[in-house]
Amino acid sequence: MSSERRRADPAIETRESLRAAALRLGFLQVGFAPATVPPHTAAYLEWLRQGRQGEMAWMAREDAVRRRLDPNEALPGCRTLVIATLGYARVPNLEAGDESAPGSPARPAIARYAAGRDYHRVFEERLAHLDDVIRERFPSAETRPYVDYGPVMEREHAQRAGLGWIGKNTMLIHPALGSWSLIGEVLTTAEIPPDPPFEADRCGTCSRCIEACPTRAITGPRELDARLCISYLTIELRGPIPEALRPAIGNRVFGCDICQEVCPWNDGVPAGGLAGHATGWGGPVPPSTMVSWIEELLDLSDEEFRSRYCETALARPGREGLLRNLCVGLGNSGDPRALPALMRCLDEVSPVVREHAAWGLARLAEVRASGS
């Protein structure tokens, strides 16, 4: 070996050792980004100015905006963001033609990430281990982990960490892994060499996600109006769903995956549960049809609902929110078996549920009359 051969950079070796350790924890990808202000902050501020965050008022709070735009506001002295992803490209194994099959209007459509245990809890556990690994290698460093509720522009930083590009549907897309991934990060004061950013935009002229969105929430390339998004309407929104949007929701009672399902970069992505699911990705499974699910919820008190679903993402809209969503889904289904369940909802204490049940009954009659 030549004595003139350039020696490996110790900082790079440390970064790669850290990445390898993080991948062994079950993460799909791990990248490193500098703790600087992301380049598209002006677009984010304009998005807030237009009120496109809807009722998620916390996003527009001055302190939240300040911390979201500058990692040093979230962790003073922050030098590096360690970005990690978990995959969730699951495909239900159901027989075609079964009333519980994904394409059946009788089945409640649930966003893939929400099936099973709340991914926040799974991610928090993994990030805690990653946090330990970082502290072992940098004993004097401060760290702070976040999942998607933290004040971090995670997709921007993930792109800067080389993990993919931000597609026209605003999702992070990797050319080999698609967009079925969740993002978390550990902020640290340790200075770790950053990865090269993912510069290429590989969406090209494709606009399938924009065209497929039933509520036209994707108003342009990388422009999302949360107030129109089915995920926002069925999870974050409190109170009534705007009546004009209800028919377009179909049977999507918790979240929506349409803009990912039509994306060609997700073609051929291997099916699989959340990375590391064998060590804790589980939880209560809701009934397989909307009728059976609404009947279950009607027989649960709010306290019983929380007890049953507290470990899942399905707890987010609460019992009232899920009943509201199911009333919309049952109305859109055209299924005559929905009638008794909707009639029972007319006796609910919640005026929101009663109003959506009445709408569901009228919509059910309309759909059946039209034969659609």
Mean pLDDT, residues 113-124: 87
Please report which confidence band the pLDDT of residue 6 belongs to, taking 50, 70 and 90 as the band edges. Answer: very low
Q: In this predicted structure, which of 11-20, 124-133, 142-151, 262-271 has the lowest mean pLDDT?
A: 142-151
* Sign (positive or negative) of CA dihedral 311, 314, 320, 321: positive
Q: What's residue 202's pLDDT? A: 96
- Domain 285-372 fold is Leucine-rich Repeat Variant (1.25.10)
Mean pLDDT, residues 70-82: 94
pLDDT in tens, 194-226: 999 998 899 999 999 999 999 999 999 999 999
Q: Is the pLDDT of residue 12 over 90?
A: yes
Q: Is the pLDDT of residue 83 over 70?
A: yes
Q: Is the pLDDT of residue 98 over 60?
A: no
Alpha carbon 111 to its chain centroid, in Å, reads 8
Strand partners, 301: none
Mean pLDDT, residues 29-49: 87
Q: Is the pLDDT of residue 272 over 70?
A: no
Q: What's residue 59's pLDDT? A: 74
Higher pLDDT, 42 or 188: 188
Q: Is the pLDDT of residue 106 over 60?
A: yes
Q: Is the pLDDT of residue 90 over 60?
A: yes
Mean pLDDT, residues 236-263: 97
Q: Is the pLDDT of residue 135 over 90?
A: yes
Mean pLDDT, residues 47-57: 79
Mean pLDDT, residues 30-57: 84
Q: What's residue 96's pLDDT? A: 34
How does the average pLDDT of the chain come out, rounded? 88
Please give the positions annotated as active site. 148
Please report which confidence band the pLDDT of residue 43 belongs to, taking 50, 70 and 90 as the band edges. Answer: confident
Q: What's residue 151's pLDDT? A: 62
Q: What's residue 8's pLDDT? A: 74
Q: Is the pLDDT of residue 2 over 70?
A: no
* CATH 1.25.10.10 location in the chain: 285-372
Please report which confidence band the pLDDT of residue 1 belongs to, taking 50, 70 and 90 as the band edges. Answer: very low
Q: What's residue 275's pLDDT? A: 45
Please report which confidence band the pLDDT of residue 40 belongs to, taking 50, 70 and 90 as the band edges. Answer: confident
